[in-house]
């Protein structure tokens, strides 16, 4: 564990078993999310997308993030993105203020603010951008590289735990490696107290009214991605592209 690679407090969450009828123990790297907000720092506006418990899969093998369709549509509406059936992605005019719009992932004890920049799919030329939030075909939420590059994650498969903290942006190559004991109790980390997701319900989603506060303009910033290696998350560079919509 590199304590210089994250900022703030690290919290340890129990993994959740999304297949209780198949296995007795968690078989995926999933934990509970409590809600999601979008904050526009320019207009000082805040939009709640959901405040229900969901099981979320942390998947470094997935490039983007995916949400149930109604939630994905609400997120896209806030940034003035519309769904393109031909591209199977939301598209919109590239915004200039993507660093000033945050998606606040609420895990209860921990809230991670992820800038809109992390979810931009940049065009190869003079074209529209893609909004890197996919529609899920089920009730799962999957958080891939675009989310993980903003987090420092420790997977404890022996004790069925996942520890999360905000990734540090500038470590200047200085590491402070701390050994993780066999009981999984990370030095300095706190055990999460938020209630766990315990299963699917017939009303796991809620409808919210979303109004966009973001003007349709342009940006030219190349995002980074992150993948998992062992227990920790390592930064890599990837360029996303979005074909011009016809």
Convert the pLDDT of each residue in 218-238 to its tens digit: 333 333 333 333 333 333 333
Mean pLDDT of 198-221: 52
Let me know: does 32 contact 13? Beta carbons within 8 Å.
yes
Tokens of 139: 């009730």
Closest residue by Cα to residue 110 from 1, 5, 10, 197: 10
pLDDT exceeds cutoff 60 at 185: yes
Mean pLDDT of 194-202: 81
Let me know: does 241 contact 124? Beta carbons within 8 Å.
yes
Calpha distance 18→152 (Å, rounded): 23
Work out the pLDDT band at 139, boundaries 50, 70, 90.
Answer: confident
């Amino acid at each position: 564990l590199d304590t210089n690679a994250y900022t703030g407090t690290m919290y340890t969450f129990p993994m959740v078993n999304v297949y209780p009828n198949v296995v007795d123990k968690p078989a995926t790297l999933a934990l509970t999310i409590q809600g999601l907000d979008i904050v526009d720092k320019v207009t000082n506006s805040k939009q709640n997308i959901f405040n229900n418990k969901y099981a979320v899969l942390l998947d470094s093998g997935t490039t983007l993030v995916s949400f149930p369709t109604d939630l994905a549509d609400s997120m896209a509406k806030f940034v003035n993105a519309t769904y393109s059936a031909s591209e199977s992605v939301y598209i919109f005019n590239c915004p200039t203020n993507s660093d000033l719009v945050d998606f606040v992932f609420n895990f209860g004890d921990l809230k991670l603010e992820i800038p809109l920049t992390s979810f931009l799919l940049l065009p190869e030329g003079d074209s529209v951008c893609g909004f890197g939030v996919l529609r899920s075909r089920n009730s799962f939420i999957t958080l891939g590289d675009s989310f993980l590059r903003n987090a420092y994650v420790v997977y404890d498969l022996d004790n069925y735990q996942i520890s999360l903290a905000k990734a540090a942006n500038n470590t200047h190559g200085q590491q402070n490696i701390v050994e993780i004991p066999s009981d999984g109790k990370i030095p300095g980390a706190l055990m999460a107290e938020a209630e766990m997701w315990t299963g699917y319900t017939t009303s796991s989603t809620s409808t919210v009214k979303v109004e966009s506060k973001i003007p349709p303009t342009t940006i030219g910033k190349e995002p980074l991605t992150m993948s998992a290696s062992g227990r920790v998350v390592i930064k890599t560079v990837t360029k996303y592209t979005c074909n011009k919509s016809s």
